[in-house]
Amino acid sequence: MVLELFALLWRMSNYFAVCARGVEPVLEHELRSLGISQTKSLFSGVAFEGEIDDLYRTNMALRTATRVLKPVAEFIARDFDALYRGVRKIDMYELFRVDQTFRVDVNLVQSTMTHSQFAAQKIKDAIVDQFRQRSDGKLRPSVDLKNPQIVFNVFVSGPHVTFALDASGESLHRRHYREGAGEAPMKEALAAAIVLLSDWDRESPVYDPMCGSGTLLIEAMMIAQNIAPNLNRTFSFQNWREYDADRFNAIREELRGKQLMPKLRGFGMEVSPRVATTARKNIAAAGLDKFIEIKTGDFRRVRHTQDSGLVIVNPPYGERMDEVENLKHLYRELGDHIKQDCQGCTASIFTGNLELRKFVGLRTKERILLYNGAIEGRLLKYNLY
Ligand SMILES: C[S@@+](CC[C@H](N)C(=O)[O-])C[C@H]1O[C@@H](n2cnc3c(N)ncnc32)[C@H](O)[C@@H]1O
Protein backbone atom coordinates (compact mmCIF):
# COMPACT_ATOMS: atom_id res chain seq x y z
CA MET A 1 0.00 0.00 0.00
CA VAL A 2 2.73 2.43 1.03
CA LEU A 3 4.78 1.45 -2.00
CA GLU A 4 1.82 1.97 -4.34
CA LEU A 5 1.19 5.41 -2.88
CA PHE A 6 4.87 6.19 -3.27
CA ALA A 7 4.79 5.13 -6.93
CA LEU A 8 1.65 7.19 -7.53
CA LEU A 9 3.07 10.36 -6.01
CA TRP A 10 6.29 9.93 -7.93
CA ARG A 11 4.31 9.51 -11.17
CA MET A 12 2.40 12.76 -10.60
CA SER A 13 5.57 14.85 -10.69
CA ASN A 14 7.92 15.39 -13.56
CA TYR A 15 11.12 15.63 -11.52
CA PHE A 16 12.50 14.04 -8.40
CA ALA A 17 15.34 15.49 -6.30
CA VAL A 18 17.24 12.86 -4.29
CA CYS A 19 18.70 13.56 -0.84
CA ALA A 20 19.98 11.77 2.27
CA ARG A 21 17.44 10.35 4.70
CA GLY A 22 16.21 12.95 7.16
CA VAL A 23 17.02 15.88 4.85
CA GLU A 24 13.69 15.80 2.91
CA PRO A 25 12.03 18.77 4.73
CA VAL A 26 15.12 20.95 4.17
CA LEU A 27 15.23 20.06 0.48
CA GLU A 28 11.50 20.77 0.11
CA HIS A 29 12.05 24.19 1.69
CA GLU A 30 14.92 24.85 -0.73
CA LEU A 31 12.71 23.95 -3.71
CA ARG A 32 9.99 26.31 -2.46
CA SER A 33 12.59 29.09 -2.10
CA LEU A 34 13.48 28.57 -5.77
CA GLY A 35 9.83 29.30 -6.65
CA ILE A 36 8.69 25.71 -7.10
CA SER A 37 5.30 25.33 -5.43
CA GLN A 38 4.24 21.80 -6.44
CA THR A 39 6.37 19.60 -4.20
CA LYS A 40 5.88 16.35 -2.37
CA SER A 41 8.33 15.10 0.20
CA LEU A 42 8.94 11.33 -0.04
CA PHE A 43 11.51 8.87 1.31
CA SER A 44 15.06 10.13 0.46
CA GLY A 45 13.83 12.83 -1.88
CA VAL A 46 11.24 15.32 -3.00
CA ALA A 47 9.07 15.02 -6.14
CA PHE A 48 8.32 18.33 -7.86
CA GLU A 49 6.64 19.86 -10.88
CA GLY A 50 8.73 22.24 -12.91
CA GLU A 51 9.66 23.62 -16.31
CA ILE A 52 12.97 23.11 -18.07
CA ASP A 53 14.32 26.29 -16.40
CA ASP A 54 13.59 24.71 -13.02
CA LEU A 55 15.61 21.67 -14.01
CA TYR A 56 18.64 23.88 -14.75
CA ARG A 57 18.08 26.06 -11.69
CA THR A 58 17.67 23.17 -9.24
CA ASN A 59 20.82 21.43 -10.47
CA MET A 60 22.91 24.56 -10.00
CA ALA A 61 21.31 25.95 -6.85
CA LEU A 62 20.13 23.09 -4.60
CA ARG A 63 22.47 22.53 -1.68
CA THR A 64 21.01 19.44 -0.04
CA ALA A 65 20.12 17.33 -3.11
CA THR A 66 22.52 14.74 -4.47
CA ARG A 67 20.86 14.47 -7.90
CA VAL A 68 17.79 15.47 -9.88
CA LEU A 69 15.95 12.77 -11.86
CA LYS A 70 13.47 12.99 -14.70
CA PRO A 71 11.20 9.93 -14.73
CA VAL A 72 10.35 8.90 -18.30
CA ALA A 73 8.49 5.58 -17.97
CA GLU A 74 6.82 3.32 -15.47
CA PHE A 75 5.81 -0.31 -15.57
CA ILE A 76 5.40 -3.40 -13.43
CA ALA A 77 8.15 -6.05 -13.26
CA ARG A 78 8.39 -8.96 -10.88
CA ASP A 79 11.32 -10.69 -12.60
CA PHE A 80 14.28 -9.90 -14.84
CA ASP A 81 12.52 -10.88 -18.06
CA ALA A 82 9.65 -8.49 -17.31
CA LEU A 83 12.23 -5.81 -16.52
CA TYR A 84 13.90 -6.41 -19.91
CA ARG A 85 10.54 -6.27 -21.73
CA GLY A 86 9.50 -3.08 -19.93
CA VAL A 87 12.71 -1.27 -20.93
CA ARG A 88 12.51 -2.55 -24.52
CA LYS A 89 9.18 -0.68 -24.88
CA ILE A 90 10.72 2.71 -24.01
CA ASP A 91 11.69 4.64 -27.15
CA MET A 92 15.43 5.08 -26.62
CA TYR A 93 15.79 7.15 -29.81
CA GLU A 94 13.77 9.85 -28.06
CA LEU A 95 16.26 9.86 -25.18
CA PHE A 96 19.73 9.62 -26.70
CA ARG A 97 21.88 8.97 -29.76
CA VAL A 98 23.73 5.79 -30.59
CA ASP A 99 27.09 7.59 -30.51
CA GLN A 100 26.56 8.66 -26.89
CA THR A 101 27.89 6.60 -23.97
CA PHE A 102 25.61 5.58 -21.11
CA ARG A 103 25.43 3.99 -17.66
CA VAL A 104 22.56 2.40 -15.75
CA ASP A 105 22.21 2.89 -11.96
CA VAL A 106 19.73 0.59 -10.26
CA ASN A 107 18.09 0.77 -6.85
CA LEU A 108 16.03 -2.21 -5.67
CA VAL A 109 13.71 -1.75 -2.68
CA GLN A 110 11.52 -4.65 -1.52
CA SER A 111 11.74 -6.23 -4.95
CA THR A 112 11.60 -9.94 -5.81
CA MET A 113 14.69 -9.16 -7.91
CA THR A 114 17.59 -9.04 -5.50
CA HIS A 115 20.70 -8.54 -7.65
CA SER A 116 21.01 -4.92 -8.72
CA GLN A 117 24.02 -5.66 -10.95
CA PHE A 118 22.12 -8.34 -12.83
CA ALA A 119 19.13 -5.96 -13.13
CA ALA A 120 21.47 -3.28 -14.55
CA GLN A 121 22.82 -5.82 -17.06
CA LYS A 122 19.29 -6.71 -18.22
CA ILE A 123 18.40 -3.05 -18.64
CA LYS A 124 21.61 -2.40 -20.57
CA ASP A 125 20.81 -5.33 -22.88
CA ALA A 126 17.29 -3.99 -23.49
CA ILE A 127 18.70 -0.57 -24.41
CA VAL A 128 21.45 -1.91 -26.68
CA ASP A 129 19.15 -4.46 -28.37
CA GLN A 130 16.73 -1.72 -29.37
CA PHE A 131 19.47 0.23 -31.19
CA ARG A 132 20.87 -2.96 -32.74
CA GLN A 133 17.50 -4.10 -34.02
CA ARG A 134 16.75 -0.75 -35.63
CA SER A 135 20.11 -0.67 -37.40
CA ASP A 136 20.12 -4.33 -38.51
CA GLY A 137 22.78 -5.15 -35.99
CA LYS A 138 25.22 -2.48 -37.21
CA LEU A 139 25.05 0.12 -34.44
CA ARG A 140 25.07 -0.05 -30.65
CA PRO A 141 25.74 2.55 -27.95
CA SER A 142 28.63 1.90 -25.54
CA VAL A 143 28.59 1.71 -21.79
CA ASP A 144 30.95 4.00 -19.86
CA LEU A 145 30.80 3.43 -16.12
CA LYS A 146 33.05 6.36 -15.19
CA ASN A 147 32.16 9.31 -17.40
CA PRO A 148 29.01 8.47 -19.31
CA GLN A 149 27.19 11.14 -21.31
CA ILE A 150 23.78 9.74 -20.42
CA VAL A 151 22.90 8.26 -17.02
CA PHE A 152 19.76 6.21 -16.43
CA ASN A 153 18.41 5.77 -12.92
CA VAL A 154 16.09 2.82 -12.42
CA PHE A 155 14.18 2.65 -9.16
CA VAL A 156 12.36 -0.57 -8.38
CA SER A 157 9.98 -0.37 -5.45
CA GLY A 158 8.19 -3.70 -5.00
CA PRO A 159 6.86 -4.51 -8.51
CA HIS A 160 6.85 -0.82 -9.61
CA VAL A 161 9.69 0.21 -11.89
CA THR A 162 10.44 3.85 -12.54
CA PHE A 163 12.85 4.45 -15.39
CA ALA A 164 14.38 7.91 -15.14
CA LEU A 165 17.06 10.01 -16.75
CA ASP A 166 19.59 11.30 -14.21
CA ALA A 167 19.87 15.00 -15.02
CA SER A 168 22.87 15.64 -12.77
CA GLY A 169 25.28 12.83 -13.68
CA GLU A 170 28.01 13.35 -11.13
CA SER A 171 26.53 13.74 -7.64
CA LEU A 172 25.59 17.32 -6.78
CA HIS A 173 27.34 17.06 -3.41
CA ARG A 174 30.72 17.22 -5.20
CA ARG A 175 31.20 20.95 -5.40
CA HIS A 176 34.82 20.71 -6.60
CA TYR A 177 36.27 22.93 -3.88
CA ARG A 178 37.45 19.97 -1.87
CA GLU A 179 40.91 19.17 -3.20
CA GLY A 180 41.92 17.00 -0.32
CA ALA A 181 39.79 15.53 2.39
CA GLY A 182 40.62 15.81 6.07
CA GLU A 183 39.84 13.18 8.63
CA ALA A 184 36.28 11.88 8.17
CA PRO A 185 35.12 14.70 5.92
CA MET A 186 31.42 15.30 5.75
CA LYS A 187 29.55 15.34 2.45
CA GLU A 188 28.88 18.88 1.30
CA ALA A 189 25.12 18.27 0.97
CA LEU A 190 24.89 17.08 4.58
CA ALA A 191 26.99 20.02 5.79
CA ALA A 192 24.62 22.39 3.96
CA ALA A 193 21.59 20.67 5.55
CA ILE A 194 23.14 21.10 9.01
CA VAL A 195 23.72 24.82 8.39
CA LEU A 196 20.20 25.30 7.00
CA LEU A 197 18.72 23.55 10.05
CA SER A 198 20.71 25.75 12.45
CA ASP A 199 19.25 28.86 14.03
CA TRP A 200 21.37 31.51 12.42
CA ASP A 201 20.61 34.92 10.91
CA ARG A 202 23.29 34.44 8.16
CA GLU A 203 24.73 37.85 9.05
CA SER A 204 26.60 37.21 12.29
CA PRO A 205 29.87 35.24 12.55
CA VAL A 206 30.23 31.50 12.34
CA TYR A 207 32.77 29.44 14.29
CA ASP A 208 33.78 25.76 14.00
CA PRO A 209 36.15 24.68 16.84
CA MET A 210 37.03 21.32 15.12
CA CYS A 211 36.69 22.26 11.48
CA GLY A 212 38.47 19.35 9.73
CA SER A 213 38.60 20.16 6.01
CA GLY A 214 36.32 23.17 6.52
CA THR A 215 33.14 21.86 4.90
CA LEU A 216 30.67 23.34 7.42
CA LEU A 217 32.33 26.77 7.27
CA ILE A 218 32.46 26.79 3.46
CA GLU A 219 28.81 25.73 3.10
CA ALA A 220 27.76 28.31 5.73
CA MET A 221 29.60 31.09 3.93
CA MET A 222 28.13 30.10 0.56
CA ILE A 223 24.66 30.20 2.12
CA ALA A 224 25.32 33.62 3.71
CA GLN A 225 26.54 35.01 0.36
CA ASN A 226 23.77 33.23 -1.60
CA ILE A 227 26.35 31.54 -3.84
CA ALA A 228 24.72 28.73 -5.84
CA PRO A 229 26.95 25.72 -5.11
CA ASN A 230 27.15 24.19 -8.59
CA LEU A 231 27.62 27.07 -11.00
CA ASN A 232 30.92 25.90 -12.43
CA ARG A 233 30.41 22.32 -13.45
CA THR A 234 28.77 20.31 -16.19
CA PHE A 235 25.62 18.19 -15.90
CA SER A 236 24.35 15.13 -17.69
CA PHE A 237 21.30 17.03 -19.02
CA GLN A 238 23.71 19.02 -21.22
CA ASN A 239 23.93 15.86 -23.35
CA TRP A 240 20.15 15.49 -23.69
CA ARG A 241 18.37 16.10 -27.00
CA GLU A 242 16.19 18.81 -25.44
CA TYR A 243 19.14 20.74 -23.90
CA ASP A 244 18.87 24.47 -24.53
CA ALA A 245 22.30 26.08 -24.00
CA ASP A 246 20.95 29.64 -24.20
CA ARG A 247 18.39 28.98 -21.44
CA PHE A 248 21.03 27.24 -19.34
CA ASN A 249 23.45 30.18 -19.65
CA ALA A 250 20.67 32.65 -18.86
CA ILE A 251 19.73 30.78 -15.67
CA ARG A 252 23.39 30.58 -14.67
CA GLU A 253 23.78 34.35 -15.09
CA GLU A 254 20.57 34.94 -13.15
CA LEU A 255 21.94 32.85 -10.24
CA ARG A 256 25.32 34.64 -10.40
CA GLY A 257 23.50 37.95 -10.15
CA LYS A 258 21.85 36.91 -6.89
CA GLN A 259 25.13 36.67 -5.02
CA LEU A 260 25.16 38.92 -1.92
CA MET A 261 27.96 41.13 -0.60
CA PRO A 262 29.69 39.38 2.30
CA LYS A 263 28.70 40.69 5.71
CA LEU A 264 30.30 38.22 8.07
CA ARG A 265 33.41 36.24 8.77
CA GLY A 266 34.00 32.59 9.56
CA PHE A 267 36.53 31.20 11.95
CA GLY A 268 37.82 27.63 12.29
CA MET A 269 40.18 25.74 14.55
CA GLU A 270 41.87 22.46 13.65
CA VAL A 271 44.37 20.55 15.76
CA SER A 272 46.06 18.69 12.89
CA PRO A 273 48.41 20.97 10.89
CA ARG A 274 47.99 18.76 7.81
CA VAL A 275 44.19 18.91 7.96
CA ALA A 276 44.27 22.66 8.68
CA THR A 277 46.33 23.14 5.50
CA THR A 278 43.74 21.12 3.57
CA ALA A 279 40.97 23.32 4.99
CA ARG A 280 42.80 26.49 3.86
CA LYS A 281 43.27 25.03 0.37
CA ASN A 282 39.58 24.09 0.13
CA ILE A 283 38.52 27.54 1.30
CA ALA A 284 40.76 29.16 -1.31
CA ALA A 285 39.40 26.81 -4.01
CA ALA A 286 35.88 27.94 -3.05
CA GLY A 287 37.04 31.57 -3.42
CA LEU A 288 36.29 32.29 0.25
CA ASP A 289 39.79 32.86 1.70
CA LYS A 290 39.08 36.52 2.41
CA PHE A 291 36.16 35.57 4.65
CA ILE A 292 37.19 32.43 6.53
CA GLU A 293 40.24 32.15 8.77
CA ILE A 294 41.63 28.81 9.96
CA LYS A 295 43.90 28.57 12.99
CA THR A 296 45.96 25.49 13.65
CA GLY A 297 45.47 24.48 17.25
CA ASP A 298 43.48 22.75 19.94
CA PHE A 299 40.32 24.65 20.85
CA ARG A 300 41.04 23.80 24.50
CA ARG A 301 44.28 25.81 24.35
CA VAL A 302 43.88 28.51 21.70
CA ARG A 303 41.15 30.65 23.17
CA HIS A 304 38.46 31.86 20.81
CA THR A 305 35.61 33.95 22.18
CA GLN A 306 32.50 35.06 20.38
CA ASP A 307 29.39 36.81 21.67
CA SER A 308 27.01 36.42 18.75
CA GLY A 309 26.39 34.17 15.75
CA LEU A 310 26.64 30.44 15.28
CA VAL A 311 28.95 27.77 16.68
CA ILE A 312 28.77 24.74 14.40
CA VAL A 313 30.79 21.59 14.84
CA ASN A 314 31.11 17.96 13.86
CA PRO A 315 33.38 16.43 16.54
CA PRO A 316 35.10 13.04 15.99
CA TYR A 317 32.87 10.02 16.74
CA GLY A 318 35.55 7.41 17.54
CA GLU A 319 35.25 3.77 16.64
CA ARG A 320 37.42 1.87 19.13
CA MET A 321 36.45 1.68 22.83
CA ASP A 322 39.60 3.49 24.07
CA GLU A 323 38.98 6.31 21.59
CA VAL A 324 35.42 6.71 22.84
CA GLU A 325 36.72 7.03 26.45
CA ASN A 326 38.97 9.96 25.42
CA LEU A 327 36.20 11.50 23.39
CA LYS A 328 33.94 11.71 26.46
CA HIS A 329 36.43 14.26 27.85
CA LEU A 330 36.62 16.05 24.50
CA TYR A 331 32.81 16.39 24.31
CA ARG A 332 32.68 17.65 27.92
CA GLU A 333 35.40 20.22 27.21
CA LEU A 334 33.64 21.26 24.00
CA GLY A 335 30.45 21.88 26.02
CA ASP A 336 32.43 23.87 28.62
CA HIS A 337 34.19 25.91 25.93
CA ILE A 338 31.03 27.00 24.15
CA LYS A 339 29.24 27.68 27.44
CA GLN A 340 32.06 29.87 28.75
CA ASP A 341 33.38 31.52 25.59
CA CYS A 342 30.38 31.71 23.26
CA GLN A 343 27.65 33.26 25.44
CA GLY A 344 25.11 34.96 23.19
CA CYS A 345 25.51 32.44 20.32
CA THR A 346 23.42 29.53 19.13
CA ALA A 347 25.19 26.19 18.69
CA SER A 348 24.73 23.16 16.45
CA ILE A 349 26.65 19.96 17.13
CA PHE A 350 26.36 17.04 14.71
CA THR A 351 27.53 13.70 16.03
CA GLY A 352 27.30 10.13 14.79
CA ASN A 353 27.84 8.77 18.30
CA LEU A 354 24.61 8.86 20.27
CA GLU A 355 26.32 7.95 23.54
CA LEU A 356 28.83 10.80 23.41
CA ARG A 357 26.22 13.51 22.91
CA LYS A 358 25.30 13.30 26.64
CA PHE A 359 28.76 14.49 27.64
CA VAL A 360 28.30 17.95 26.08
CA GLY A 361 26.47 18.83 29.30
CA LEU A 362 24.30 21.61 27.86
CA ARG A 363 20.51 21.68 27.69
CA THR A 364 19.47 20.65 24.18
CA LYS A 365 16.85 22.82 22.52
CA GLU A 366 16.20 20.42 19.65
CA ARG A 367 17.48 17.07 18.35
CA ILE A 368 17.19 16.20 14.66
CA LEU A 369 17.81 12.76 13.18
CA LEU A 370 20.13 12.87 10.16
CA TYR A 371 22.17 10.19 8.42
CA ASN A 372 25.83 10.58 7.54
CA GLY A 373 25.93 7.83 4.88
CA ALA A 374 24.87 4.74 6.80
CA ILE A 375 25.65 6.28 10.21
CA GLU A 376 22.65 7.44 12.19
CA GLY A 377 23.50 10.81 13.67
CA ARG A 378 21.92 13.63 15.60
CA LEU A 379 22.03 17.35 15.09
CA LEU A 380 21.86 18.86 18.57
CA LYS A 381 20.84 22.49 18.87
CA TYR A 382 21.54 24.77 21.84
CA ASN A 383 20.90 28.35 22.88
CA LEU A 384 23.80 29.89 24.81
CA TYR A 385 21.92 32.78 26.35
C1 LIG B 1 34.87 14.61 12.21
S2 LIG B 1 36.18 15.66 11.81
C3 LIG B 1 35.40 17.10 11.19
C4 LIG B 1 35.07 16.98 9.76
C5 LIG B 1 34.62 18.28 9.14
N6 LIG B 1 33.24 18.56 9.46
C7 LIG B 1 34.83 18.19 7.64
O8 LIG B 1 33.88 18.24 6.90
O9 LIG B 1 35.95 17.98 7.21
C10 LIG B 1 36.75 16.21 13.37
C11 LIG B 1 38.02 17.04 13.31
O12 LIG B 1 38.30 17.54 14.61
C13 LIG B 1 39.70 17.65 14.76
N14 LIG B 1 39.98 17.74 16.22
C15 LIG B 1 39.96 16.73 17.13
N16 LIG B 1 40.24 17.20 18.37
C17 LIG B 1 40.42 18.54 18.24
C18 LIG B 1 40.72 19.60 19.18
N19 LIG B 1 40.88 19.34 20.47
N20 LIG B 1 40.84 20.87 18.71
C21 LIG B 1 40.67 21.13 17.38
N22 LIG B 1 40.40 20.16 16.45
C23 LIG B 1 40.25 18.89 16.87
C24 LIG B 1 40.21 16.40 14.08
O25 LIG B 1 41.58 16.54 13.69
C26 LIG B 1 39.27 16.29 12.87
O27 LIG B 1 39.81 16.92 11.74
Ligand 1 pocket mutation, candidates 174, 179, 211, criterion most atoms within 8 A of CB: 211
In this predicted structure, the answer to whether residue 33 has a pLDDT above a threshold of 70 is: yes
In this predicted structure, the answer to whether residue 4 has a pLDDT above a threshold of 70 is: no
CA distance 166 to 238: 11
Say if residue 147 is in the same domain as residue 204.
no
Number of domains comprising the chain:
2
Say if residue 104 is in the same domain as residue 217.
no
In the chain, % of residues over pLDDT 90: 85
In a domain, 237, yes or no: no
In a domain, 179, yes or no: no
Ligand 1: centre distance to CA 316 (Å): 6
Where in the sequence is the domain holding 20, given as residue range(s)?
2-166
Q: 202-245, pLDDT tens digit by residue?
A: 999 999 999 999 999 999 999 999 999 999 999 999 999 999 99
Ligand 1: centre distance to CA 62 (Å): 26
Nearest CA to ligand 1 atom 26: 212
**The pLDDT value given to residue 1:** 47
Q: 152-205, pLDDT tens digit by residue?
A: 999 999 999 999 999 999 999 998 888 765 566 789 999 999 999 999 999 999
Q: Work out the mean pLDDT of the chain and round it to a whole number.
A: 93
**The pLDDT value given to residue 259:** 95
The CATH number given to whatever domain includes residue 10 is 3.30.2130.30
Helix spans in the chain (H):
2-12, 24-33, 52-61, 80-88, 92-95, 116-134, 188-197, 215-224, 245-256, 273-285, 321-341
Say if residue 290 is in the same domain as residue 322.
yes
In a domain, 171, yes or no: no
**The pLDDT value given to residue 303:** 87
Nearest CA to ligand 1 atom 12: 210
Nearest CA to ligand 1 atom 18: 298
Say if residue 118 is in the same domain as residue 199.
no
Ligand 1: centre distance to CA 384 (Å): 22
In a domain, 11, yes or no: yes
In this predicted structure, the answer to whether residue 9 has a pLDDT above a threshold of 80 is: no
Instruction: Find the mean pLDDT for residues 117-137.
Output: 95
The CATH number given to whatever domain includes residue 304 is 3.40.50.150
CA 379: distance to chain centroid?
Answer: 16
Ligand 1: centre distance to CA 210 (Å): 4
Ligand 1 pocket mutation, candidates 188, 207, 210, 338, criterion most atoms within 8 A of CB: 210
CA distance 219 to 27: 15
Q: 247-296, pLDDT tens digit by residue?
A: 999 999 999 999 999 889 999 999 999 999 999 999 999 999 999 999 99
In a domain, 249, yes or no: no
Which residues, 6 or more positions from 367, have their beta carbon under 8 angstroms from its beta carbon? 378, 379, 380, 381
Ligand 1: centre distance to CA 311 (Å): 14
Q: List, chain by chain if needed, residues with CB within 6 Å of any ligand 1 atom.
A: 182-186, 210, 212-213, 215-216, 269-272, 275, 298-300, 314-316
Helix (H, G, I), strand (E, B) or coil at 343: coil
**The pLDDT value given to residue 2:** 52
Ligand 1 pocket mutation, candidates 187, 270, 350, 372, criterion most atoms within 8 A of CB: 270
In this predicted structure, the answer to whether residue 12 has a pLDDT above a threshold of 70 is: no
- C-beta of residue 56 within 8 angstroms of C-beta of residue 248: yes
Nearest CA to ligand 1 atom 27: 212
Nearest CA to ligand 1 atom 11: 212
Say if residue 220 is in the same domain as residue 367.
yes
Say if residue 81 is in the same domain as residue 147.
yes
Q: 75-122, pLDDT tens digit by residue?
A: 999 999 999 999 999 999 999 999 999 999 999 998 899 999 999 999
Ligand 1: centre distance to CA 260 (Å): 29
